[in-house]
Each structure stands twice: as structure tokens, then as C-alpha cells.
A and B are shown apart, each in its own frame.
Chain A
């Protein structure tokens, strides 16, 4: 059976993915900065689905540790989902480069660092699936979160290139671009209900896209059209909008 490695396992979306894959009979390895908060999730997955589950410490921005982390996995995964990310604060990032750097380091550099290693392994094994959680924010830079958006844009381009490289090695690369998702991170925001997904919806869509060997996935589907419109607004109008 399959073995899925979830990087950044404390988020609501990562948890929903863990449930879905465990339910499908996958072995699940959860990786997060701290493993103590994952204890209950591990026991829950084991008891509900009799799944084989482990939690490991992983720091996205400690690039030097990534090779050892991956080499030390007890069994090699055949699905790797890169969920970790850092939204940050746009206003703060404009004033304080440390915040900008943290956003770029987590969302882009950290992801490149670990996925390079995974990609080489999958390429040599001629199989596997890499799923990267990017964002619709990477489709066009907007004043309200362009530092985060640009890091995600970089990540989207990275995944696209990776897919191109690994296509001949039978390795699937799936770029996921979630729109609004109702999570603890966005609990206080008032999000429009029709275009806001629950983490479970996102996880189910990702699982199906994985099985269908798709390349790019917007969650929910309306976002594909919303972003189509946003991408096609002429720049001389777009620059005047307060988005």
C-alpha cells in the first residue's frame, strides 16, 4: 500500500489530508516543527483507521537538515505533500525585511530545498507523486499580500518546471491552488461562503486529483474562473484597483 509523507502536518488542511489518506489505507508520516501537538492526531488515525502512522520533527527553513531528514525515513514514501507555509503580515513585511525573508524562506526556499531531494529520489525510482500546496495568491500580485503571493508564484513556477522534468520519469507533480479555506488561520475573517472550502473538501479534491493524475488543481473549482478573470484584467486598470 501507499505511504504518504505530509510536510507541515499541524495545519487544518494537512490534518484533513491525513484523515483522507489514512482512510484510503495509506501509511501516513506526519512531519512538523513540533511533534507533541500531533500526539492526539496520531492516536486518532491509528484507532479510527488502523493506519500505520508516525510523527517526525521537521523544520522547513533548516535547509541543511533536509537531506538527513529524508534519508532517515524508515520506509521511502511514494506520495509527498508539501503543505507548510507562512502567510505573514503584508504591512509588517513592507517595513521589516525579516518578515519578508521569513515568508519567502518558508513558502519558497524551504519547499525547494526539501522537494529537490524528494524529486531526485522519485526520479531514480521512476515513480511517485509530489503534491505542492501553492495558492491563488501566486497567480497575480496584489497590494494586500504580494510578498506571500510572489513566494507562492515562485513555488508554482518551480512545480511547473519540476513536472516538466519528471514527466518522462512517470512522476506526477500536482500543483494545488486553494482559494479561501475555512481554517483556524482564517477563523476570524469573514469569508464569502460560496467560494470558501472546508479543509475536508480541499483534502478530498486533492485525493481525487492525485488519483486522476492531474497537474493543476484549483479548490473550489470556481476559483479557476475567478483567477482567469483576475489574470486578464489589463494592468492599467488592475494597478488602480484596491485588491
Chain B
């Protein structure tokens, strides 16, 4: 027993000494913390500031020369990266929820997933949701995010009643499409450059069930896929996965998924109808470490795409699935971005206007299939116009491709930029990590107006990111 005591004591002492040594090592002077966003590229030495009260936020703004607001770090590139970043994650309280009118008011750090946890059971859904629910309301506004319903429901900001933000001087302003509307539309999609969004009030849409009635249709090539999109225009949600490795006649083959919120009638004779607003809980997976770089080689990507395409030989597959499965298939794999390895990846998302979509998409896909820079996942989607001064969307088609960072990639993407530019398209800032200032300037037609407004709102570039400096939104 005496010996046992000694063992415990020495084990504990050893543990304490070990912990202390680790601590001293990790806090040694001059160590800057490297931070990235979702693509893990680029990484910058950064300090993250958090706040829970207005007073704390004002103090941060006083202490830093410049900073960029940041939500859950789900933008892919450097939109939310800067030496000083102001995280809204701790400013995340619900302020009111009108369950009759479907209007919710919350602080900017609330995640869309948290909104769904509260509202779905009461029969309300987000009016617009991107492919992940792990983003903040503030981030959704700053990037003016969109989803599978963009062609019908527009962007996130189209459903805002109003919002409140703190400007560079620490003052708080409320803005809406009616009140301070210039500030409002400069902030929507304004990449956090106008101020720190504090809270927002938005409309929700009513749902009868937490399920989506989905139809999945297989397309033999790009033209076929685009025909199916146009045929599906009246559907609330539509998106397509395409195989961007297959060459020749089958180039651009893939699946289009279209969906509508399921009604109670759609669930007739189904056991899920008993609790239509409470889908069953499903297990989550985790990617616990960065995969080695060789993992996503072209063989794996080809095999994955082959299986995805051939898993269901039927032309049309109908099903009723819960909203998580339909909207957020990747959210169940925690930190899936780590499969791209320690160097990270970038998502190349561009849009082309309708009149050039078919020719342009073919030319660009041809270039991608020829390059062997194959993307693991490629997503095609039909779009409508977008408001604001830095809108990504326009009537046309967008394609999003994931590329692991490797030597030669950026030269290749510069080549793609030229094609996108020649077809009158543009790139999505929220995904971007490398676009040139010249490319940005040529493809965002309302940039001048945005910069004039920003000059009044944020005259000394108090709010700036690595991206805003790179593309010339700040100096």
C-alpha cells in the first residue's frame, strides 16, 4: 500500500512536470499561431479575438489597428484571414423567435445548425441554406451565401428583415432594405469589410415535415445535364454532381438531384409520419488527422466517381430523405477537409452567364479533363441574379471544383481564369484563395460603387483581410 502511494505520487508529479514542460514549450516567446480557414490554405500568423458583450467588442476595436470579422471559419480561402481576427462565435444568443410569423432574431455568432435545432420542431426552416449548416449568421450575410434554391429563392440576404452592425468607430447602426439601405446592401456580400455584424432578424419558411421529397436523375453528358436543369427550374432545390474525369462523349456525365419540402401527404403510409418534424438521430463520422498527400490520387478519384455514377443504373430514383441528408451530406463527416492533407485544398467556383454556359462549360471541362488535375467532387448548379454590390450569382451556371494544393496548380487555375473571363464569368470570393486583382476588377461590374460606399463606411481600412488586400478591396 505504501508503495502504491509512492507510484501514484511519482506518476502525478511526472504528469505535472510533463504538462508544465509542454506548456512552456508551446508558449515560448515569438511563437505565432498559424491559422487557416476551411481549405487549410493559406495559413497566416493570426490572433483570434472573442467577445461576448458590446463593450468587449469596442475594446478590441480600440486595441487593434485593423482586423477582419470571422464566423466559423468555413469560407475556403483567405476571406476571413488577417493578423487580427474578431470571432463572433461567442456572441451567439437567440434574442427572439416568433413561432407564429416565422421570424427569428439572433446574434451573429449563432450557427445555422443551431437555428434548425430550434425552428424545425416548430415547423420552420431556413429560407436559404448552403451545403453546410456549420456557418454563422454573420458569415452567411458577409458572404451572402446561397444554396440549392438560389435560382428560386435568391440569396441569404434576400430574407433579412434587418441587421445591426458595429462600425469602425465603435458606433452601432441598424440597417435594412428600408433604413440605411446603402449600408445594408454594401454589407450583404461585403465580405466583412463594412463592420462587425452583431445581430440579424430574418424570415423563415414554413414546413410540414423535416423531410425532402427528392428525385435523382442520371445524365449521360453535360448537355443532357443542363437540359435536366432547365426542365427542373420550377423545383425549389436543384443541384448536380458531375464526373469531371470522363472524357469524350460522356464528358460532364453525372446526377442531378432535385427536391421539394415533403408534405404530410408525401409521408403517407410511412412510419416517419408519426413525428414529421423530428427526424431520427444519425451517427457522425470523424476525420481525426490530415491524410497523407498521396491519398487523393487520380486512381482513387476515378474509382470514387465511377462508383458514384454507376451505383444506380435507373434513370430516375425517387425518395423521401431527411433534411440533413439532402442539404448537408458532408457535415456528418467532421473535418472532412483533412482528407486533402496538410497542404490543404482550394475550391475553384466560377459562374458563366446563360448565353455562354454550354460552350464555356464544355471548353473549361475539356481543359480540366486534359490536365489530369481531376477534382474529387464537382458540383454544377443553375443560378438566377443576386442583389448587392459584389454579387457572385447571375443568370447562368456555376461549377465548383475542389483541387488539392500542389505544384503547378495555381498556374493551371490562372489558365482557367482566362477562360472564365473570356466567357463573361466570375469567381466566388468566399471560396477563393488566389485570384488576381486584375481578374477581380474585370469580372465584378459594380466594384466601383462598392468601393465608393466602402470609402464612406470604412475609410481607413479598419476592416481588411488577406483577401481584400489581395484583390484590391482594401489598400
Contacts and interface: CB of A to CB of B under 8 A. Distances in A.
Given A48-B94, A229-B12, A194 B118 contact: no
A228 B12 CA distance: 10
Given A40-B95, A40-B107, A43-B95, A192 B118 contact: no
A222 B94 contact: no
Nearest to A196: B23
B93 A44 contact: yes
B124 to A, nearest CB: 12
Interface string A148-171: 000000000000000000000000
A225 B52 contact: no
**Chain B residues touching A, majority SS:** helix
Given A184-B52, A225-B12, A229-B9, A41 B23 contact: no
A40 B95 CA distance: 6
B23 A194 contact: yes
Interface in A17-71: 37, 40-41, 43-44, 47-48
A47 B53 contact: no
A226 interface: yes
Contacts of B93: 40-41, 43-44
Interface stretch (B14-22, B151-159, B173-181, B328-336): B14-22
B407 to A, nearest CB: 36
Contacts of B56: 184
Nearest to A184: B52
A240 interface: no
B265 interface: no
Interface string B125-160: 000000000000000000000000000000000000
Interface in B1-25: 8-9, 12-13, 15-16, 19-20, 22-23
B383 to A, nearest CB: 34
Interface residues of A, number: 19
Contacts of B327: none
A195 interface: yes
A41 B92 CA distance: 10
A193 B56 CA distance: 24
Contacts of B15: 222
Contact of A44 (B9, B19, B53, B94): B94
B210 to A, nearest CB: 18
B20 A192 contact: yes
Given A194-B22, A194-B23, A226 B16 contact: yes
Contacts of A229: 9, 12-13, 16
A107 B22 CA distance: 33
Interface residues of B, number: 25
Nearest to A232: B9
Contacts, number: 50
B19, B26, B93, B96: residue with the most chain A Cβ atoms closer than 10 Å: B93
A226 B12 contact: yes
Given A226-B12, A226-B16, A47 B118 contact: yes
B97 interface: yes
Interface string B81-106: 00000000000011111000000000
B27 interface: yes
A193 B20 CA distance: 9
B94 A37 contact: no
A230 to B, nearest CB: 10
Contacts of B53: 37
B92 to A, nearest CB: 8
A229 B8 CA distance: 11
Contacts of A190: 23, 27
A226 B94 CA distance: 40
Interface in B172-196: none
A195 B22 CA distance: 12
B16 A47 contact: no
A103 B342 CA distance: 49
Nearest to A15: B52
A195 B12 contact: no
Interface in A201-243: 222, 225-226, 228-229
A47 B94 contact: yes
Nearest to A187: B50
B244 to A, nearest CB: 42
Interface in B246-304: none
A79 to B, nearest CB: 23
B96 to A, nearest CB: 6
Contacts of A226: 12, 16
Interface string A125-149: 0000000000000000000000000
A228 B50 CA distance: 35
Contacts of B94: 43-44, 47-48
Interface in B107-135: 107, 114, 117-118
Given A40-B107, A193-B22, A228-B12, 9 more contacts: A40-B95, A41-B93, A44-B93, A44-B95, A192-B19, A192-B22, A192-B23, A193-B26, A195-B19
18 contacts: A40-B93, A43-B94, A43-B96, A47-B94, A47-B118, A48-B114, A48-B117, A184-B56, A190-B27, A193-B22, A193-B26, A195-B19, A222-B15, A222-B16, A226-B12, A226-B16, A228-B12, A229-B13
Top 9 A-B residue pairs of the complex, sorted by shortest distance between their CB atoms? A44-B93, A192-B23, A47-B94, A194-B19, A40-B93, A225-B12, A44-B94, A47-B97, A190-B27
